[in-house]
Chain A
Amino acid sequence: MIEAIGLTKRYGNTVAVDDLSFTVAPGRVTGFLGPNGAGKSTTMRMILGLDRPTSGKALIDGKPYAQLDRPLRTVGALLDAKWVHPNRSARAHLQWLAKSNGLPARRVEEVLEMVGLTAVAKRRAGGYSLGMAQRLGIAGALLGDPQVLLFDEPVNGLDPEGILWIRQFMQGLAAEGRTVLVSSHLLSEMALTAQDLVVIGKGKIISQSSTTEFIERATENSVLVRSPQASKLGPLLVDKGYTVRTDDDGSLSVTGATSDQVGDIAGANAVVLHELSPQRGSLEQAFMQLTGDSVEYHAEIGK
C-alpha cells in the first residue's frame, strides 16, 4: 500500500507537484497517468525518499521510505533502466544491490533467470539494448521479493514484444497480491495494463478511479446517423431530449441516445436511414480533453 498525503514539490517559483493525495491498493496494477512534465517522476522520487517534498509526505505500508529496514525487501523500484554503471556486468550490479540488503547471492541468479538475462549476465551493462537494460532494471526491482513495486514509464522505447512482456509481468505481480504502481503518459497502454488509474496534470490530481470508470466517464458515446431525411429526423430527436449535431457532410451525431433508440424513432416516423452506428470517443481524445489545460509544454498546432 502506497499513500501520498498532500505531497508538494516546489522548485523556486515552479510547482512541480501540487498537493497530491492518493492511495495505491495492493493486488491491482495502478496506472499513474499524466502528460510529460506532469510531475509523475518527481512524485515517484518523493515516494522513494530520493527527493525531499516541500510539504506533505509519502508512506509505504505506513512508513516513510527512509525508515524502512532493508528497503529493497519491501519496495522494488525501476525509475530509470540506465541507472547502472556501463562497465559493470549485470551480475555485479545485482550482487552489490543484494549485498546491501542482506539478500543471498543465489537470489541474484534467480532474478536473472526470471527476466531471462542469465546468458548475458557477465556482459557489461553498457552494451545492453534498451529492452535488456529494462529487464535488468526489473531484476533489480524484484531482488528483494518486495510487496510494493514502482515502475516509471517501463514500456518507453520498447518493441511490441517487450511491451507485452512487461504488461503481463506487472499483471502477474499484482495477481500475487502485490502493490504495483506504473507511470505512463499513454492512456491506451494503461487501459490495457492497469485496473486503477491515478491521473495527474501539471502536478495536480485530476482523478482517481478504476480504469473502466475513468474511460466511461471520459469518453463520449454518440450515435452517427446518415439519412436523406436528416432535416426531418433531427428535430424529432431533439424533441426527445437528445443532443444532435449536424456534421459538415449532413450526417447527424446524436449524444445521449443509444443506436436502438435512434433506430426506433426513425422507424416510427418512417425516416429512411443509410447508416446508424454507435461511436465511441477515442481514449486519446478523452485524455487530451481531461488534461488539455494542464499540459506543461504546448505545441501550437497549425500555427
Chain B
Amino acid sequence: MTLLAVERIKLFSTRSPWWCMALAMVITIGMAALISANTDDRFPLTVSVSQGFSNFGMVVIMVMAALAVTTEYRFGTIRATFLAVPGRVQALLAKTAVVALLAGVVGEAVAFGSWGIGTLIKPDADMAINSSAEWRNVAGTGLVFALAAVLAVAVGVLVRQTAGAVAILLVYTMLVESLIGLIPTLGQKIQRWLPFQNSTNFQTAGNESFMNETGGLDYPFGPWGSLVYFAAICVGLLVVALVVAKRRDA
C-alpha cells in the first residue's frame, strides 16, 4: 500500500500525466463528436460507431505510461527510488499498478464520454447499450487501456529512453500491426495473433459497423479469449522487464 501511495505522489506531482489524460479524453471524445455529427441514414450512428476511435486515446495513454518510467530514468529518480525501495520488483509493480489503474479509469471515461456525446448529438439514434457485445465494446475499453498501459510500462523499463520507447509504441500500434496485413496470404495469418488485433477483437466482436470492417480476420479466440491472450502478452512482457530491471545496474 505504501508503495502505491509513493507512486501516486510521484505521478501526480508532475504535469505530463495530467496533459496526457486530458489529451486522451479530448481527442477521443472530440473525434466521437465529429463522427456522430456526420452520421446519416447510410452511415447510421450506433454504440459501436461512437467507440470507433477509442484506440486514439489508448495510444496517448500508452505514451503516458511509458513516460512514467522513462522520465524516471531520464532524471535519475529511478535510482532515488531504488535507494528508498531496494526491492526493485515491488517498486516497479507498484508503479505499474498505479499507471494501469489510472489508464483503466481514463478508458472508462473515454468510452462513456464518447457514447454520451453521441447520444447528445443524435438523440434519435439507437444508442441503447443493451447487448453483452455492446457492453463489452464500451465498458471493456477500461480493461484494454489498463493492459495496454502495462505493456507500455514494460517497454519503458526495457528501453529506458523516452524517444525510443514512444517511437516503438507508436510505430508498432499505429503502423506495424496494420501494415503486416498487407503481406499477401501470410499477413493475415500473422495478424490474427498480434496483441492489439486481439484487443480490438475483444472490443468489436459482434459489434460490426461501417467503422470497423476488419476484413474478417479469422481470430484464434473469441472476444474474451482474445482479451486473455492480450493480457498474457502484456503481463509476459512486464515479467521480462522486471527480471531485466532487477539484474541490471540502475
Binding stretch for chain B, among A71-79, A181-189, A190-198, A261-269: A71-79
Task: Provide the bound-state CA to CA distance between A93 and B9, in Å.
Answer: 9
Contact of A50 with B75 in the complex, beta carbons under 8 Å: no
> CB within 8 A of A85: which of B14, B85, B247?
B14
Contact of B86 with A49 in the complex, beta carbons under 8 Å: yes
- Across the interface, which residues of A come within 8 angstroms of B6, CB to CB? 96, 99-100
Would you call A229 an interface residue if the criterion is a C-beta within 8 Å of the partner chain's C-beta atoms?
no
B5: nearest chain-A partner, CB-CB: A99
Contact of B77 with A84 in the complex, beta carbons under 8 Å: yes
Known: A66-B86, A83-B80, A99-B2. A50 touches B13 (CB 8 A): no
Interface string of A24-63 (1 = CB under 8 A from B): 0000000000000000000001001111100000000000
- Across the interface, which residues of B come within 8 angstroms of A65, CB to CB? 86
Contact of B13 with A89 in the complex, beta carbons under 8 Å: yes
Q: Which 9 A-B pairs have the closest CB atoms?
A: A83-B76, A92-B13, A100-B84, A96-B9, A66-B86, A51-B249, A50-B250, A100-B6, A87-B14
- Across the interface, which residues of A come within 8 angstroms of B16, CB to CB? 87
Would you call B178 an interface residue if the criterion is a C-beta within 8 Å of the partner chain's C-beta atoms?
no
A144: nearest chain-B partner, CB-CB: B84
Task: Provide the bound-state CA to CA distance between A56 and B13, in Å.
Answer: 39
Task: Provide the bound-state CA to CA distance between A82 and B80, in Å.
Answer: 10
Task: Provide the bound-state CA to CA distance between A140 and B79, in Å.
Answer: 13
B246: nearest chain-A partner, CB-CB: A52
Task: Provide the bound-state CA to CA distance between A101 and B82, in Å.
Answer: 12
Would you call A86 an interface residue if the criterion is a C-beta within 8 Å of the partner chain's C-beta atoms?
yes
A9: nearest chain-B partner, CB-CB: B249
What residues make up the interface of A, taking CB atoms closer than 8 Å to B?
Answer: 45, 48-52, 65-68, 71-72, 77, 79-80, 82-89, 92-93, 95-97, 99-102, 140
What residues make up the interface of B, taking CB atoms closer than 8 Å to A?
Answer: 2-3, 5-6, 9-10, 13-16, 71-72, 75-77, 79-87, 247, 249-250
B114 to chain A, nearest CB (A): 30
- Across the interface, which residues of A come within 8 angstroms of B76, CB to CB? 80, 82-84
Query: Interface of chain B, helix or strand or loop or mixed?
Result: helix
Known: A83-B75, A83-B77, A99-B2. A49 touches B10 (CB 8 A): no
A77 to chain B, nearest CB (A): 6
B250: nearest chain-A partner, CB-CB: A50
Contact of A71 with B83 in the complex, beta carbons under 8 Å: yes
A-B contacts, 7 listed (Cβ < 8 Å): A71-B83, A77-B83, A79-B79, A80-B79, A87-B14, A96-B10, A99-B2
> CB within 8 A of B79: which of A66, A83, A99, A102?
A83
- Across the interface, which residues of A come within 8 angstroms of B82, CB to CB? 49-50
B74: nearest chain-A partner, CB-CB: A85
A63 to chain B, nearest CB (A): 11
Task: Provide the bound-state CA to CA distance between A85 and B15, in Å.
Answer: 11
> CB within 8 A of B15: which of A87, A101, A140?
A87
Contact of A100 with B79 in the complex, beta carbons under 8 Å: no
A281 to chain B, nearest CB (A): 39
Known: A88-B14, A92-B13, A102-B2. A72 touches B77 (CB 8 A): no
> CB within 8 A of A96: which of B13, B71, B83?
B13
Contact of B13 with A100 in the complex, beta carbons under 8 Å: no
Contact of A140 with B80 in the complex, beta carbons under 8 Å: yes
